[in-house]
Chain A
Amino acid sequence: MPSTPSHQAHAKRIDRLMAFTISSGGLLIIGAVLAMLLFILKESLPLFIPPQSKALGTLQAPRSGGAWLDESGKTVVLLSRSEGLKALRASDGTPLPVPTDGPARPWRTFTALNARGESLVIGADGRLFLTRMSWSKPAGENDPAKWTLEPHWQGSLPMAKTPDEILHFRIIEGGGLGGASSLRVIARTREGLEWSETRLDGAMAPTWRPLPVAPFLHPSAAAWSLDGRDLFVGTREGRLLDLDPETGNVLSSSEFEEPIQSLGFALGQSSLLVGGAKGKLGAFQRVRVNDVFQLQAFHTFARLDGAVLGFQASQRDKRFLAWTDREAVVDHLTTERRMFSARLEGPGIAALAPRGDLILHANEATGALRLWSLDAPHPEVSFGLLWGKTHYEGYEKPEYVWQSTGGTDDFEPKFSLVPLLFGTLKGTLYAMLFAFPLAVLGALYTSQFATPRLKNAIKPTIEIMAALPSVVLGFLAGLVMAPLLEKMAVEIFVYPFMVLLLAIVIAPFWSRLPLPFRNAFGSGREVLWMVPVLLVGVWLAALAGPWFERVAMGGSYRTWLQTALGVTYDQRNCLVVGFAMGFAVIPIIFTISEDALSSVPKSLTSASLACGASPWQTAWRVVLPTASPGIFSATMVGLGRAIGETMIVLMATGNTPIMDWSPFNGMRTLSANIAVEIPEAPLHGTLYRVLFLAAFLLFILTFILNTVAELVRQRLRRRYESI
Chain B
Amino acid sequence: MRRMTERLRQGGVFVWFSGTLLAFCLAMILCLVGFIAAKGMGYFWPSPLVQVQTPEGPVLGEITGQEPARGEETAKTQFRVGNRDIYGQDFRWLPTASLATPKCPKDALLIERLEYGPFIGRIVSLSHEGHLVATGPAAMSGALDRLPETNRVRRHIQSIEKGQVGDLNRRIERIRLARRKLETRGDIAALQALDTRTAQLQTTYDQVQTSLEQSRAEAKAWTLGLQTVDGQDKELPLGSVVRIVPANAMGLLDKLGVYLSRLWEFVADDPRESNTEGGIFPAIFGTVMMVLVMSVLVVPLGVITALYLREYARQGWLVRAVRVAVNNLAGVPSIVFGVFGLGFFVYGLGGSIDQLFFADSLPTPTYGTGGILWASLTLALLTVPVVVVATEEALGAVARSQREASLAMGATKWQTLWNVVIPSSTPGILTGLILAIARGAGEVAPLMLTGVVKLAPSMPLDGTFPFLHLDRKFMHLGFHIYDVGFQSPNSEAAKPMVFMASFLLLVVVVVLNLFALNLRRKLRARLGGSTF
A12 touches B412 (CB 8 A): yes
A contact residues around B481 at 8 Å (CB): 471-472, 475
**How many whole Å from A325's CB to the nearest CB in chain B?**
47
Question: Are A678 and B449 CB-contacts (below 8 A) given A26-B312, A30-B322?
Answer: yes
A40 touches B339 (CB 8 A): yes
A contact residues around B348 at 8 Å (CB): 39
B415 touches A15 (CB 8 A): yes
A contact residues around B414 at 8 Å (CB): 11, 14-15, 18-19
Answer yes or no: B1 CB below 8 A from chain A CBs. Answer: no
The residue from A463, A475, A586, A596 contacting B532, defined by CB atoms under 8 A apart:
A596
Contact mask for chain A residues 267-311; partner B; CB cutoff 8 A; 1 contact, 0 none:
000000000000000000000000000000000000000000000
A463 touches B304 (CB 8 A): no
- Cα A507 to Cα B14 with chains together (Å): 13
- Cα A38 to Cα B152 with chains together (Å): 57
A contact residues around B479 at 8 Å (CB): 471
A27 touches B445 (CB 8 A): no
- Cα A11 to Cα B409 with chains together (Å): 14
Contact mask for chain B residues 408-447; partner A; CB cutoff 8 A; 1 contact, 0 none:
0010111101000000000000000000001101111100
**Least CB separation from B323: chain A residue:** A710
B32 touches A25 (CB 8 A): no
B328 touches A33 (CB 8 A): yes
Answer yes or no: A671 CB below 8 A from chain B CBs. Answer: yes
Contact mask for chain A residues 429-455; partner B; CB cutoff 8 A; 1 contact, 0 none:
000000001110110111001100000
- Cα A685 to Cα B506 with chains together (Å): 39
- Cα A441 to Cα B9 with chains together (Å): 17
- Cα A527 to Cα B19 with chains together (Å): 5
A contact residues around B347 at 8 Å (CB): 683
A583 touches B28 (CB 8 A): yes
A471 touches B15 (CB 8 A): no
**How many whole Å from B365's CB to the nearest CB in chain A?**
11
**How many whole Å from A491's CB to the nearest CB in chain B?**
10
The residue from A27, A478, A705 contacting B322, defined by CB atoms under 8 A apart:
A27
A contact residues around B491 at 8 Å (CB): 479
Question: Are A464 and B331 CB-contacts (below 8 A) given A441-B18, A479-B495, A595-B530?
Answer: no
Answer yes or no: B325 CB below 8 A from chain A CBs. Answer: yes
Answer yes or no: A561 CB below 8 A from chain B CBs. Answer: no
Contact mask for chain B residues 269-305; partner A; CB cutoff 8 A; 1 contact, 0 none:
0000000000000000000000000000000110011
A534 touches B23 (CB 8 A): yes
Answer yes or no: B250 CB below 8 A from chain A CBs. Answer: no
The residue from B19, B36, B343, B449 contacting A675, defined by CB atoms under 8 A apart:
B449
A475 touches B485 (CB 8 A): yes
Q: Which of B21-41 contact A (CB under 8 A)?
A: 21-30, 32-33, 35-36
Answer yes or no: B10 CB below 8 A from chain A CBs. Answer: yes
Answer yes or no: B336 CB below 8 A from chain A CBs. Answer: yes
A68-76, A242-250, A313-321, A645-653 - interface stretch: A645-653
B48-56, B107-115, B234-242, B510-518 - interface stretch: B510-518
Question: Are A29 and B384 CB-contacts (below 8 A) given A441-B17, A647-B482?
Answer: yes
Instruction: Name the residue among A439, A527, A678 with the largest chain B CB count within 10 angstroms.
Output: A527
**How many whole Å from B507's CB to the nearest CB in chain A?**
11
B contact residues around A535 at 8 Å (CB): 27
Answer yes or no: A530 CB below 8 A from chain B CBs. Answer: yes
- Cα A35 to Cα B381 with chains together (Å): 12
Answer yes or no: A368 CB below 8 A from chain B CBs. Answer: no
Contact mask for chain A residues 694-719; partner B; CB cutoff 8 A; 1 contact, 0 none:
01001100110111001000000100
Contact mask for chain A residues 675-696; partner B; CB cutoff 8 A; 1 contact, 0 none:
1001100010000000110010
Q: Which of A16-46 contact B (CB under 8 A)?
A: 18-19, 21-23, 25-30, 32-36, 39-40, 43
Answer yes or no: A546 CB below 8 A from chain B CBs. Answer: yes
B contact residues around A475 at 8 Å (CB): 481-482, 485-486, 498, 502
B530 touches A706 (CB 8 A): no
- Cα A28 to Cα B342 with chains together (Å): 20
A contact residues around B381 at 8 Å (CB): 32, 36
A614 touches B304 (CB 8 A): no
Answer yes or no: A349 CB below 8 A from chain B CBs. Answer: no
Answer yes or no: A617 CB below 8 A from chain B CBs. Answer: yes
Q: From DSSP, what is the main secondary structure of chain B's interface residues?
A: helix
Q: Which of B310-354 contact A (CB under 8 A)?
A: 311-313, 318, 321-340, 342-344, 347-348
- Cα A444 to Cα B18 with chains together (Å): 8
A671 touches B333 (CB 8 A): yes
A527 touches B26 (CB 8 A): yes
B contact residues around A437 at 8 Å (CB): 21
Answer yes or no: A565 CB below 8 A from chain B CBs. Answer: no
- Cα A202 to Cα B441 with chains together (Å): 71
A144-152, A170-178, A209-217, A636-644 - interface stretch: A636-644
**Least CB separation from A467: chain B residue:** B513
A643 touches B333 (CB 8 A): yes
Instruction: Name the residue among A39, A463, A467, A549 with the largest chain B CB count within 10 angstroms.
Output: A467
A646 touches B339 (CB 8 A): no
- Cα A439 to Cα B28 with chains together (Å): 13
- Cα A336 to Cα B24 with chains together (Å): 55
Answer yes or no: A219 CB below 8 A from chain B CBs. Answer: no
A703 touches B18 (CB 8 A): no
- Cα A27 to Cα B9 with chains together (Å): 54
- Cα A546 to Cα B414 with chains together (Å): 71
Answer yes or no: B20 CB below 8 A from chain A CBs. Answer: yes
Contact mask for chain B residues 234-255; partner A; CB cutoff 8 A; 1 contact, 0 none:
0000000000000000000000
Answer yes or no: B509 CB below 8 A from chain A CBs. Answer: yes
**How many whole Å from B257's CB to the nearest CB in chain A?**
30
- Cα A40 to Cα B335 with chains together (Å): 12
- Cα A34 to Cα B340 with chains together (Å): 12
Would you mind naming 6 contact pairs between A and B with Cβ atoms under 8 Å apart? A27-B308, A442-B25, A469-B509, A620-B11, A702-B328, A702-B333
A residues at B contact (CB < 8 Å): 3, 11-12, 14-15, 18-19, 21-23, 25-30, 32-36, 39-40, 43, 437-439, 441-442, 444-446, 449-450, 458, 460-465, 467-472, 474-476, 478-480, 487, 499, 503, 507, 526-531, 533-535, 546, 549-550, 555-556, 583, 586, 590, 595-596, 598-599, 614-617, 619-620, 630, 637, 640-641, 643-647, 650-651, 671, 674-675, 678-679, 683, 691-692, 695, 698-699, 702-703, 705-707, 710, 717
B residues at A contact (CB < 8 Å): 9-30, 32-33, 35-36, 70-72, 300-301, 304-305, 307-309, 311-313, 318, 321-340, 342-344, 347-348, 381, 384, 388, 410, 412-415, 417, 438-439, 441-445, 448-449, 478-479, 481-482, 485-486, 491, 495, 498, 502, 505-506, 509-510, 513-514, 517, 530-532
A-B contacts besides A22-B311, A442-B18, 18 pairs, CB < 8 Å: A19-B312, A23-B312, A26-B309, A30-B321, A36-B381, A442-B21, A450-B22, A461-B30, A464-B513, A468-B510, A470-B444, A475-B498, A527-B19, A586-B25, A617-B9, A620-B14, A644-B332, A710-B324
